[in-house]
Structure 1
Amino acid sequence: MSDNSSTGLRKGLTSYGDSGFSLFLRKAFIKGAGYTDSALDRPVVGIVNTGSAYNPCHGNAPQLIEAVKRGVMLAGGLPMDFPTISIHESFSSPTSMYLRNLMSMDTEEMLRAQPMDAVVMIGGCDKTVPAQLMGAASAGLPAIQLITGSMLTGSHRSERVGACTDCRRYWGKFRAEEIDEQEIADVNNQLVASVGTCSVMGTASTMACIAEALGMTVPGGATPPAVTADRMRVAEQSGAQAVQMAREHLTIDKILTPDAFHNAMRVLLAIGGSTNGIIHLTAIAGRCGLEVDLKALDRMGRETPVLVDLKPSGQHYMEDFHHAGGMATLLRELKPLLKLDALTVTGRTLGEEIERSGAGFAQDVVKSRERPIYPQGGIAVLEGNLAPGGAIIKQSAANPDLMEHVGRAVVFENADDMAQRIDSDDLDVTADDILVLKNIGPKGAPGMPEAGYIPIPKKLAKAGVKDIVRISDGRMSGTAFGTIVLHVTPEAAIGGPLAHVHNGDRIRLSVANREIALLVSDEELAQRARDEPVRVPIAARGYRKLFLDTVTQADKGVDFDFLRAENFTGSTPSM
């Protein structure tokens, strides 16, 4: 029997040249852990364990694993948990994005190497969920995503706070000398009140919502906080559903269809989601042989308002979204804009799951399309001679007064240059200028760090300036806010126009016209390119060499070029 038709422990036998002996040896070793033949004859469900002392966002992983195991066994399957690498946003140098593709490869290869009929993937912190979805899409197994869940909120001097929008807000106050060292230390104790992911609509929450919109979680899987009984029940349901998926051979390619990506893009816009969500969706789609069209995303944004009132675009936190009915409440409101025939991990369509969720109830976190938080989608796509391949701005978290703006460029050549000069009293900068940071893109950093949230120069912050237009080829956290242009493509490190911006150049930002323009003639820009040749970063060995040699630009998901689907069709999710 071929590996493709084999199941359970007979799947993917180790190559000893004798398949009978391979199975005999495998059973002998697993029986050393105390398993019986009866247990070993059941469908095998792998459980990806990403618990780590370096990852408090996954601090509930042991409890989740036990709940998944319970669900698997109640449904008649055999649970087998195994580790992969774990990535935490705040503990990964130079940036977690640098390691996302490595985690996706680890996930894919372990799914291929070890015998399992289905897999439950436990992820939460920013890059772990996309890495797992990318790896699973490439491996092709029946797969279900289990989100670790958001943290609880804390309280500082009677003000409710949560990571990490409030982290940035209080740090801004500290830089502006509005609060002292004692208060910044006090609030540091309250911002993260439990294990779990950021409690606002940052990248982790965005990817949780996107995973459910894609049909990759059980209904209601996106929003329960990490330390709740609801989250444990979702884990048990995920284990049971994985067994059913194994029996029905409901593989991931039947779920991650163009219609699923259409729904995910709608949700990304309606939640005021993280700008990182675009890069991750693009990378996941690339593993499925699909293309995310940024122009199509922008067209969708003009008719998909922001409906979820969560920081940084609104006021609430993830636990409030959960209490308001979670994704079911949002999907019910978005129903006319969704592809309702898209299949989910339950074997039912998204439309059927919306109907099963009931009629809803009164709440004030998810707004109606008639009374949105923001009239258009949270993210706008910009084009112009500064970004021929596109750039993006989170318009729902920007200053309306700055979204139509012409200013003088104040240029930083790289992150070190910025760190050395941003707080200098000698920095020639006003609130009307535009800060430009180069060389923090996929190759330039490397890894495209979240340095695009350029701090307000200290002398402006002390003068009360809360926002200024900022432009870079990097990313920013989904928890961040401000009039910030990101993902400028091509990046400076490979010779994109951004590389040739000079101090004093005039730049025009027009979100209404979807434009980011360097007000320099084409002839002058071409001459600068000839006079200022760019040396593309290289490395001699290891993962850094692999990364720099093969990583794609932001518009292709910052994935490795060789990991995109072999049968790539380039078809775009239907609009």
Structure 2
Amino acid sequence: MNERRSSQWYDGTDRNAYLHRAWMRRGIPADAFDRPQIAIANTASDLTPCNSHLDEVAQSVKQGVYEAGGIPLNLPVVSLGETQVRPTAMLWRNMAAMAIEEMLRANPIDGVVLLGGCDKTIPSLLMAAASVDIPAVVVPGGPMLNGTFRGVPLGCGTDVWKLSEEVRAGTLSEKLFTRSESSMIRSRGHCNTMGTASTMGLLAEALGTTIPGIAGTPAPDSRLLEGAHATGRLVVEMVAEGRTPSTTITAASFHNAIVTLAAIGGSTNAVVHLLAIAGRLGIDLTLEDFDRIAADVPLLVNLQPAGRYLMEDFFRAGGLLAVLDQVRDLLDPTAITVTGRPLVEYLDDQEIWDADVISPRSEPLLDAAGIAVLRGNLAPTGAIIKPAAASPELLEHRGRAVVFDSVEDLHARIDDPDLDVDASSVLVLRGCGPRGYPGMPEVANMPLPRKLLEQGVRDMVRICDGRMSGTAYGTVVLHVSPEAAAGGPLGLVQDGDEILLDVGGRRIELLVPDEELQRRRVPGATSDAFAAPVRGWERLYVDHVLQADTGADLDFLVGASGPDVARESH
């Protein structure tokens, strides 16, 4: 049995040990300090509505910890509500990870259960746990139940984009649009499409950081509480056996996560999150790995935004393990899970219960569905596109650039009837990268010009150094790196420049001679819109954030620091 980390606080008869024990007594028995101390890193918050039910989940975790002989300790941590915080939740992912890391390291904790759901919460929890490297296991909060409007299911997030464009096109009244609000958000839980929250919950399982079979359980389903109870028991076992992130999450784990990302048609945001988590573990993961590993992985999950169904349907159809069974030959069998057993051992006897939702390998929705990594003079260190969410006829396209220097510029001019744009144009939005905004907001899926919507146009090629919501869709080139604010060529594009998109050839090219580009300078309207914070977290972030192609972590947070506290207290 491993020596408990918490014994550094509680063992002994000196003044420090006395202080640590006395202030924690408050009715607990004396032998509590001889048991594993398990933190429940809880991102529940009323301002993160997708996570508001996690206090109930925490109670089930507590029961499991107690049952296994541990002491559960609720630890509220930074919670980021994707729909609420401004300017973008991504601005604080690294801050949340840093704060959680510091709290885990600073306290007498032997292991931790990570409760997350909304988009940035599971990534920040995993980044923190990887950096501290104490036994850690995830309980994903799960998706909300399906809602319906006018007799058809509503996809949380995805149908916001669709319905709002219909309002702008004049085919849906604002009254009906507003009425759909309560229908879309039917229950507790995160978005029910294959957006970032669903994707990261499932990838947490593919990485081996959950009990296999728990990810994707709908938030109101009592089986989530059953899984939370089992997780509480498991983490006590993990402490006894010394099973930590560095021993369970390996390069093989990331291989399996990338295969999973393609097979489920997951969010593009997963790319920056997986890169950041790998960076905390010192695992050499690159953009090329996403293209190489997932190039021939079929799309098997028919969920919005790339398909038809929602997460409740996915769960009843067999869930993630049924999908992974279909691509078992593409997985790395050496990857283990928090249970100590290989992930592939959990794939035996898995069945698909609804082939409309989860396609068998013999009848994929797409033969190859991985995230495509693009390079060229417009994105020297890379950009990505999600072909499964794009219009096939636009995956090879050449068109004139229509350039917007900022989100504000986009909003001011996109519906101008005099805007020089047609259906073949390429919309370019810059100043939206990690430094430029700051925080890399989900604005890459730009709204289409109203005059084109009225003509029936529903997709165009769009290029941006920002991100897009995992619930969004369209032919969108995003995460262009380096971003304009970091000196990337995106800052030099001018209206009328021709741009070539060739997804099959993995190219994104600005068709302007090199000598002309060398003569150009970033326009004042562009540079004036870049973020220039003078204090606080935003200043620290802008000064130290890395680019999207490496995960957009802070440069001084890459790599793990381990569980040791630098100095003794008192």
Structure 1 runs not aligned, ≥5 long: 569-575
Match status 1:371 vs 2:368: no
Q: Which residue number in structure 1 is paired with residue 550 of structure 2?
A: 556
Q: Residues 2 and 242 of structure 2 are in contact (CA less than 8 Å); yes or no, is this contact kept in structure 1? A: no
Return the letter of the residue paired with 1:393: I
Cα gap change, 1:12 to 1:165, in 2 (>3 Å): farther
Q: Residues 2 and 240 of structure 2 are in contact (CA less than 8 Å); yes or no, is this contact kept in structure 1? A: no
Sequence identity of aligned pairs in percent? 45
Looking at structure 2, the residues matched to 6 and 141 of structure 1 have their Cα atoms a distance apart, in angstroms, of 12
Q: Residues 460 and 475 of structure 2 are in contact (CA less than 8 Å); yes or no, is this contact kept in structure 1? A: yes
Once the two structures are TM-superposed, the CA of residue 195 in structure 1 deviates from its matched residue by 1.3
Cα gap change, 1:306 to 1:361, in 2 (>3 Å): closer
Match status 1:49 vs 2:42: yes
How do 1:476-487 and structure 2 match up within 5 A?
476-487=468-479
Match status 1:162 vs 2:170: no
Looking at structure 1, the residues matched to 313 and 35 of structure 2 have their Cα atoms a distance apart, in angstroms, of 40
The one of 24, 31, 37 equivalent to 1:30 is 24
Deviations 1:522-541 (A, max 9, x none): 11111114888968754322
Looking at structure 1, the residues matched to 271 and 293 of structure 2 have their Cα atoms a distance apart, in angstroms, of 13
Match status 1:213 vs 2:200: no
Return the letter of the residue paired with 1:110: M
Once the two structures are TM-superposed, the CA of residue 254 in structure 1 deviates from its matched residue by 0.7
Q: Residues 133 and 560 of structure 2 are in contact (CA less than 8 Å); yes or no, is this contact kept in structure 1? A: no
Deviations 1:149-197 (A, max 9, x none): 1001111111111301112111111111111011101111211111111
Give SS of 1:441's match.
Answer: coil
Q: Residues 43 and 243 of structure 1 are in contact (CA less than 8 Å); yes or no, is this contact kept in structure 2? A: yes
The one of 324, 328, 337 equivalent to 1:331 is 324
Match status 1:542 vs 2:536: yes
Looking at structure 2, the residues matched to 549 and 319 of structure 1 have their Cα atoms a distance apart, in angstroms, of 42
Looking at structure 1, the residues matched to 522 and 190 of structure 2 have their Cα atoms a distance apart, in angstroms, of 46
TM-score for both structures, normalised by structure 1? 0.94
Q: Residues 273 and 378 of structure 1 are in contact (CA less than 8 Å); yes or no, is this contact kept in structure 2? A: no
Q: Residues 501 and 508 of structure 2 are in contact (CA less than 8 Å); yes or no, is this contact kept in structure 1? A: yes
Looking at structure 1, the residues matched to 13 and 485 of structure 2 have their Cα atoms a distance apart, in angstroms, of 51
Q: Which residue number in structure 1 is paired with residue 568 of structure 2?
A: none
Match status 1:427 vs 2:419: yes
Looking at structure 2, the residues matched to 315 and 287 of structure 1 have their Cα atoms a distance apart, in angstroms, of 36
The one of 232, 244, 248 equivalent to 2:241 is 248
Looking at structure 1, the residues matched to 69 and 289 of structure 2 have their Cα atoms a distance apart, in angstroms, of 44
Match status 1:411 vs 2:408: no
Q: Which residue number in structure 2 is paired with residue 222 of structure 1?
A: 215
Q: Residues 72 and 239 of structure 1 are in contact (CA less than 8 Å); yes or no, is this contact kept in structure 2? A: yes
Return the letter of the residue paired with 2:289: A
Once the two structures are TM-superposed, the CA of residue 429 in structure 1 deviates from its matched residue by 0.9
Match status 1:501 vs 2:493: yes
How do 1:113-132 and structure 2 match up within 5 A?
113-132=106-125
Q: Which residue number in structure 1 is paired with residue 7 of structure 2?
A: 10
How do 1:299-310 and structure 2 match up within 5 A?
299-310=292-303
TM-score for both structures, normalised by structure 2? 0.95
How do 1:82-231 and structure 2 match up within 5 A?
82-231=75-224
Q: Residues 538 and 549 of structure 1 are in contact (CA less than 8 Å); yes or no, is this contact kept in structure 2? A: no
Looking at structure 1, the residues matched to 561 and 60 of structure 2 have their Cα atoms a distance apart, in angstroms, of 37
Q: Which residue number in structure 1 is paired with residue 228 of structure 2?
A: 235
The one of 386, 392, 397 equivalent to 1:400 is 392
The one of 7, 11, 14 equivalent to 1:20 is 14
Q: Residues 131 and 560 of structure 2 are in contact (CA less than 8 Å); yes or no, is this contact kept in structure 1? A: no
Looking at structure 2, the residues matched to 256 and 328 of structure 1 have their Cα atoms a distance apart, in angstroms, of 18
Looking at structure 1, the residues matched to 174 and 309 of structure 2 have their Cα atoms a distance apart, in angstroms, of 27
The one of 387, 391, 416 equivalent to 2:379 is 387
Q: Which residue number in structure 1 is paired with residue 351 of structure 2?
A: 360
Looking at structure 1, the residues matched to 10 and 395 of structure 2 have their Cα atoms a distance apart, in angstroms, of 58
Match status 1:512 vs 2:504: yes
Looking at structure 2, the residues matched to 11 and 65 of structure 1 have their Cα atoms a distance apart, in angstroms, of 26
Q: Residues 126 and 203 of structure 1 are in contact (CA less than 8 Å); yes or no, is this contact kept in structure 2? A: yes
Looking at structure 2, the residues matched to 313 and 179 of structure 1 have their Cα atoms a distance apart, in angstroms, of 23
Looking at structure 1, the residues matched to 517 and 457 of structure 2 have their Cα atoms a distance apart, in angstroms, of 32
Cα gap change, 1:362 to 1:539, in 2 (>3 Å): closer
Structural RMSD (CA): 1.9
Q: Which residue number in structure 2 is paired with residue 572 of structure 1?
A: none
Return the letter of the residue paired with 1:50: T
Q: Residues 290 and 370 of structure 2 are in contact (CA less than 8 Å); yes or no, is this contact kept in structure 1? A: no
Q: Residues 498 and 510 of structure 2 are in contact (CA less than 8 Å); yes or no, is this contact kept in structure 1? A: yes
Looking at structure 2, the residues matched to 419 and 530 of structure 1 have their Cα atoms a distance apart, in angstroms, of 21
Q: Residues 10 and 23 of structure 1 are in contact (CA less than 8 Å); yes or no, is this contact kept in structure 2? A: no
Once the two structures are TM-superposed, the CA of residue 204 in structure 1 deviates from its matched residue by 0.4
Looking at structure 2, the residues matched to 48 and 437 of structure 1 have their Cα atoms a distance apart, in angstroms, of 37
Give SS of 1:507's match.
Answer: strand
Q: Residues 412 and 436 of structure 1 are in contact (CA less than 8 Å); yes or no, is this contact kept in structure 2? A: yes
Q: Residues 216 and 344 of structure 1 are in contact (CA less than 8 Å); yes or no, is this contact kept in structure 2? A: yes
Match status 1:64 vs 2:64: no
